[in-house]
């Protein structure tokens, strides 16, 4: 069955450093990979989408890579700030009617 | 601009009582609509999705049902709640046929069945 793995342990980093979150998947050939941010008690917020034929995408301090050979995506936040503290969800889609499967997320804590 | 409204924000219901959660979208036409549930410490589980009025697809057999009486209205219901129905319910929409830009989620409903 399809499986999306994100590090369930919280990631603690110092303010100003680059945070790197990992998303691995198995038994899946996604056309799209997305990253969302979720704050406690709130709905996820869409951050970035990368297509299977793209290697890298950037948006401000965010960078996403997508390696379909390794079946892995890396999500980077450069110059991290305490306000970046949240849970980050990886999500995959095969396109079509756009059904999306979400990972369980990684909690990021940026320490001042 | 597009907005999505979901209510209520929190709900405490006894076992065996009915449920109705409503979601409406503004500023777009013919959106794809979704209901997700997020249990504590777990990922988002897709419950239902809809690509048009009256068109509902169920992903998980359960005690819940969904309806789409209007283009931008999506309702999640149950006739008799179970303890296992507790969770964080999220409505979302996406734009069909224009590439793929991710989901926009509502603010969620925290349901506690007691």
Q: Quick one: DSSP state of residue B103? A: -
Q: What is the pLDDT of residues A22-80, one digit of tens each?
A: 999 988 888 889 999 999 999 999 999 998 889 999 999 999 999 999 999 999 999 99
B14 has a chain A CB within 8 A of its CB: no
Average pLDDT over residues B71-82: 96
The answer to whether A4 and A90 have CB atoms below 8 angstroms apart is: yes
The answer to whether A56 and A30 have CB atoms below 8 angstroms apart is: no
Q: Say how many C-beta atoms besides its own lie within 10 A of residue B22's C-beta.
A: 15
Q: Which two tokens stand for residue A95?
A: 């396109």
Q: What is the pLDDT of residues A72-104, one digit of tens each?
A: 999 999 999 999 999 999 999 876 555 788 999
B97: pLDDT strictly greater than 90 = no
B81: pLDDT strictly greater than 70 = yes
What are the backbone angles phi and psi of residue A31, rounded to the nearest 5°?
Answer: -90, -25
B1: pLDDT strictly greater than 60 = yes
- CA separation for the pair B43, A99 (Å, rounded): 15
Q: What percent of chain B has pLDDT over 90?
A: 73
Inter-chain touch A98–B94, beta carbons under 8 Å: yes
Tell me which residue in B42, B105, B110 faces A104 most closely, judged by beta carbons: B42
- CA separation for the pair B32, A98 (Å, rounded): 9
Nearest C-alpha of chain A: how many angstroms from B15? 23
Start-to-end C-alpha separation, chain A: 41
Q: What is the pLDDT of residues B15-45, one digit of tens each?
A: 999 999 999 999 988 999 999 999 877 789 9
The answer to whether B63 and B80 have CB atoms below 8 angstroms apart is: yes
């Amino acid at each position: 069955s399809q499986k999306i793995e994100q590090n369930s342990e919280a990631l603690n980093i110092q303010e100003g450093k680059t945070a790197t979150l990992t998303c691995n998947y198995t038994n899946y050939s996604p056309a799209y990979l997305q990253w969302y941010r979720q704050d406690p008690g709130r709905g996820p917020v869409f951050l970035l989408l990368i297509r299977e034929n793209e290697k890298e995408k950037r948006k401000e301090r965010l960078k996403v890579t997508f390696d379909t050979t390794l079946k892995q995506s890396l999500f980077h936040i450069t110059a991290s700030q305490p306000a970046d503290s949240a849970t980050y969800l990886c999500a995959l889609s095969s396109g079509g009617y756009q059904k999306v499967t979400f990972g369980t997320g990684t909690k990021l804590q940026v320490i001042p | 601009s597009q907005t999505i409204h979901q209510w209520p924000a929190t709900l405490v219901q006894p076992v065996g009582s009915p449920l109705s959660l409503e979601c409406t979208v503004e500023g777009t036409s013919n959106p794809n609509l979704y209901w997700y549930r997020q249990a504590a410490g777990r990922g988002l589980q897709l419950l239902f999705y809809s690509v048009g009025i009256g068109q509902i697809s169920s992903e998980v057999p359960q005690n819940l049902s969904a309806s789409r009486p209007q283009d931008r209205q999506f309702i999640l219901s149950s006739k008799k709640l179970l303890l296992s129905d507790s969770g964080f319910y999220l409505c979302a929409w996406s734009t069909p046929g224009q590439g793929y830009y991710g989901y926009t989620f509502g603010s969620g409903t925290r349901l506690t069945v007691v």
